[in-house]
Amino acid sequence: MEEFFIMKLKKMFRYVALPTALAAMLAGCSGDKVENEVLATVGDTEILYTDLADQLIELQGKDTLETMITNEIVKQEAEKAEVKVSAEDIDAEYENYINYYGGEESFNSMLQMYGMSADDVRKDIENSLLTEKVIASTIEVKDEELKTYFDENAANYETSAEVAAKHILVATEEEAKKVLERLNAGEEWDKLAAELSTDTSNKDKGGDLGFFGEGVMVEEFTKVAFAQEVGTISAPVKTEYGFHIINVYDKKEAVAAVFEDVKDKVKDDYVYAKVSEQFATWMEDKKKEYKVENTLAADEEKTDESAEKTDEEKTDDSAEKTDEETTEEEK
């Protein structure tokens, strides 16, 4: 499932930024006033709005038009199938994007780098979700297919082992040993955490990290925490952040998933995989059904064919000259 999500993100940032900007600009490119509007002057030369539009069309026109065609096909198919995307659906997916990029700040930096706005992303999410729902409505799902998919991807549905722990973080090993001495002397853990820990995010909560799985914390910390028995306190553990005293207070063992318990999740993942698999073929079929004509793509194909013919002619001319030169030498 994750690989499809990542693929969708890459597709969004690769294809949405410039087409979105171009589409927005061309939407306003109507009427004599806009067509003749001067955007810049260089000496006595004027650069008109239409000059910029022509340049943008040449650079990104084909991709932009393809995006608009795709969205219009999906829109019309959604109306036929009475499929809609709710604001809640869009918000949830937008939150997924933010989390994938490590938080709102990182995500906003990504948007800025690609010249996109939050509204651009939300619109693309709406189109993407609408596409998924439209194609999903055509997919017949059988229980035996879901069970096969579950068996092939069982590891994705199991509950991983987790540890619940508290920690006290200090700068040096000497400080960590003194923390242990005070704990062994009977001082309260939470009091020492609040007084001594340098981890300000949780020191006032007794250094409580809650439950976490493998790979969440740094390797040295994880290795010790998972090896500890519940109710035990570790020796000082060195990491890149300093020295930790770890207090493991609970554990959850890994649990294999039962198909019936995760059937709904399996169905969602299975349908999403099928949508991704069928999208290209489905779209090509719909273009034929709607008799889509993309004049920009046709012009580009003609240009490519012309270039190929020119290359072939050059090759033929070169071959003829070589043959003539060879004949002359033989004479």
Written as six digits, the tokens of 110 are: 């990504």
Pick the CATH number of 162-252 from 3.30.930.10, 3.50.50.60, 3.40.50.2300, 3.10.50.40: 3.10.50.40
**Pick from 182, 78, 197: which is nearest to 130 by CA?**
78
- Res 162: pLDDT: 96
Written as six digits, the tokens of 8 are: 């969708």
- Res 67: pLDDT: 86
Cα distances from 4 to residues 9, 101, 270, in angstroms, run 9, 15, 11
> What type of residue sits at position 322?
T
Tens digits of pLDDT across the chain (331 residues)? 444 344 444 444 444 444 555 555 555 555 555 667 888 989 999 988 888 888 888 887 888 888 889 999 999 999 999 999 999 999 999 998 888 887 888 889 988 888 888 998 899 899 889 999 999 999 999 999 999 999 999 988 998 999 999 999 999 999 999 999 999 999 999 999 999 999 999 999 999 999 999 989 999 999 999 999 999 999 999 999 999 999 999 999 999 999 999 999 999 999 999 999 999 999 999 999 999 988 887 666 555 555 555 556 666 666 566 656 655 555 5
- Res 4: pLDDT: 39
Q: How far apart are CA 330 and CA 319, in angstroms?
A: 17
- Res 301: pLDDT: 58
Q: How many residues does the chain have?
A: 331
Written as six digits, the tokens of 249 are: 């207070």
Q: How far apart are CA 19 and CA 17, in angstroms?
A: 6
Beta bridge partners of 167: 246
Q: How far apart are CA 322 and CA 73, in angstroms?
A: 53
Task: Confirm if 84 and 50 have CB atoms less than 8 A apart.
Answer: no
**Pick from 117, 131, 135: which is nearest to 89 by CA?**
131
- Res 18: pLDDT: 45
Written as six digits, the tokens of 244 are: 């930790």
Cα distances from 233 to residues 190, 195, 223, 298, in angstroms, run 13, 18, 14, 71
- Res 316: pLDDT: 61
C-alpha dihedral, 111 to 117 to 119 to 123, nearest 10°:
-60
Strands (DSSP E) along 23-126, which ranges?
38-42, 45-48
Domain positions in the chain are 2-152+262-289, 162-252
- Res 11: pLDDT: 46
- Res 85: pLDDT: 94
- Res 103: pLDDT: 86
- Res 271: pLDDT: 94
Residue 183, CA atoms < 13 Å, CB-side half-sphere: 22
- Res 293: pLDDT: 87
Q: What is the model's pTM?
A: 0.58
- CATH architecture of the domain 2-152+262-289 equals Orthogonal Bundle (1.10)
Question: Exposed, middle or buried, 298 (CB in 10 Å: 0-12/13-18/19+)?
Answer: exposed
Domain 2-152+262-289 shares a fold with domain 162-252: no
Q: Which residues contact 193 (CB under 8 A, 6 or more apart)?
A: 166, 168, 202, 203, 206, 207
Written as six digits, the tokens of 145 are: 């297919």
Residue 261, CA atoms < 13 Å, CB-side half-sphere: 8
Q: Please, what is the Cα angle at 116 between 115 and 119, to 5 degrees?
A: 160
- Res 295: pLDDT: 84
Beta bridge partners of 162: 213, 252
